Amino acid sequence: MSYGITSHRRHLIISSSYTSIHSDSDVKLCPGRNPGTRKMKTGTSLAALFCVLGTTEAFLGRVSFLPGIRNLPTDTPVARNHGPGIFMSTLKSPEPATAQTQHAQAPTSLHVSDSKRVYLFNEGRKEDKALLGGKGANLAEMSNIGLPVPPGFIISTATCLQYFDSEPNLPSGLVEEYMAAIKTIEAQTGKEFGNPENPLLFSVRSGAAISMPGMLDTVLSLGMNDEVAVALARKSGNPRWVYDTYRRFLQMFSNVVLGMKMEVFDDLLVAYKASKEYRSDTDMQAADWEEMVRRYKEVTTVPADPHEQLQLAIRAVFSSWMTPRAIKYRQYNDIPETLGTGVTVQSMVFGNMGEDSGTGVAFTRNPSTGENVHFGEYLQNACGEDVVAGIRTPEDLTGLKAQNPQLYEELLRV
C-alpha cells in the first residue's frame, strides 16, 4: 500500500492518489500524483494522499478559514476513533499490465444511468471504474465505507467522449449539473466557491478506468485569485503559504490549460532565487512569493473568475485524453481510446502551510523487494509535486518516526 501524505499536527486525511505530510503533530493529506506501480514479490500496492489536521479546539479554530475545512463529520468509524478533522482516501494501483492483458482489465460494467453525468462521491462504488475512472470509483468506495474523504464529485468518462463532439464547448447542460454538485459540497464544507471572503478551492484531476501515470492533466488550488489571496492571507495569518499556493496555481493552470511551458515559470523562479542568493525554496519568504506571483502574472493571463477557471480546467482535462503523449501511451499499452477519462473535482487540502506541514509517499511494503515493512519519504512544508519533480531531496519516512512519533503512529494506523 502506498500513501500520499500531508501532515499538520495530529490526524490524517486522505484525498487522492498522492502523498503529503505536515509534521507539527497533525497530519493533513494533500493531492498529488499516483507514485506509480512497481511489480512486487508479494501483495499489491495502494496509492493514497493524506493530510493531517489537528483536532484540538485551538487548531480547529486556526484552520476554520481553510477552503473546504469546517467542523468535519464525526459520525464515521474513523472519525469516532480519532476525532473530527480527519479525511482519508485510497486509490488501488492496478497490477502492471501487458499489451496482452490490458483489454481484459478494462472495466466494462456500469450500474447507473448513462444519462447521469455528475456523481457525488457517495453516489458511486468501486465497480464503477468504467464510468467514473479508477480515481473517482475508489474515492466513491471509500466515502461509502465511512472513511473521511474530502468532499467532491466526478464527471463521468462518457462525458469525456461527449466533449469531443462539442469541443471546445462543454456538453450542453453540464455546467448546471456540476454546479448542483458544488452546492452540495458548499453545504458540506461551509465554504462558497467564488466567494473571496469564504473561498472553496478545488483540485481538478483526470482519472481513466486504466491508470495512465503522468499522461493526463491536473490543476490544483483552482479558485485562487488576487481577492482570495488577500482574504486568505488576512484570515490565516500565513501569507507565505497563500502566495506560494497562488504562484503554484498560476504555473499549473498556465501549463495545463493555456499550454505554456513550465520552464517559463521555473526560469523566473531560478533567476529570482539567484538574485537573492537563496539556495532553496524554503528560503523564500511571504514577500518573495508575492513578488513571484506578480512576475508570473506578467507572462500569463489566468482568468480571475473561479467559475471560468473551472470550466477551462475541465475542458483541459478532457482534452488531455487526446494529447499525442496520451495517444502514444494507449497505443503502446493497448488501452482502448473509447474508455475516456473522468474528471474528479475535490476540495483542496494543503501540504505547504509551514514547517508543521508537508508531503510524502509511503508504502506498506518495500516496493523494490516486496518486504512487509513500511517504506517511504517525505518533505516538510511542501506539496506532492515537489516530491515527484525532485525539486527538493525528501527525507526517509523513518525520520518522521523520530521527529514526531505520534504522527508516525497515526500514519501506520491508517
Question: Grid coordinates 467514473 are at which residue?
Answer: 132
Look at strands 28-29 and 46-52 and give their pairing.
Answer: antiparallel
**% residues pLDDT > 90 (the chain):** 52
Residue 33: is its pLDDT beyond 60? no
* Residue 230 in domain: no
* Residue 196 in domain: no
* Residue 395 in domain: yes
Of residues 76 and 56, more confidently modeled: 76
Domain of 360, in residue numbers: 1-87+349-414
What band does 67 get if pLDDT is binned at 50, 70 and 90? low
**What cell was used for 343?**
474528471
Distance CA 295, CA 289 (A): 10
Average pLDDT over residues 224-247: 96
CA of residue 63 relative to chain centroid, distance: 19
Q: How far apart are the first and last CA of the chain?
A: 10
Of residues 214 and 13, more confidently modeled: 214
**Mean pLDDT for all residues in the chain:** 77
| Highest mean pLDDT pick, 213-217, 277-281, 404-408 | 277-281
Of residues 277 and 30, more confidently modeled: 277
The amino acid sitting at 169 is: N
What pLDDT is recorded for position 115? 83
**% residues pLDDT > 70 (the chain):** 71
Give pLDDT tens digits for 191-200.
Answer: 999 999 999 9
Average pLDDT over residues 96-116: 48
What pLDDT is recorded for position 410? 74
Residue 230: is its pLDDT beyond 70? yes
Of residues 348 and 4, more confidently modeled: 348
Average pLDDT over residues 37-48: 35
Closest CA to 203 of 4, 2, 412, 414: 4
* Residue 62 in domain: yes
Count other Cβ atoms within 10 Å, centred on residue 414. Answer: 23
Q: The domain spanning residue 378 has which CATH number?
A: 3.30.470.20
Residue 161: is its pLDDT beyond 60? yes
pTM: 0.73
Average pLDDT over residues 101-106: 43
**What cell was used for 212?**
495512465
Number of domains comprising the chain: 1
Give pLDDT tens digits for 306-319.
Answer: 999 999 999 999 99
* Residue 37 in domain: yes
Average pLDDT over residues 76-101: 36
* Residue 178 in domain: no
Q: Coil, helix or strand for 21? A: coil
Query: Which range among 61-75, 137-151, 171-185, 363-377 shows the weakest confidence by mean pLDDT?
Result: 61-75
117 within 8 A of 314, measured Cβ to Cβ = no
What pLDDT is recorded for position 282? 85
* Residue 61 in domain: yes
Residue 203: is its pLDDT beyond 90? yes
* Residue 80 in domain: yes
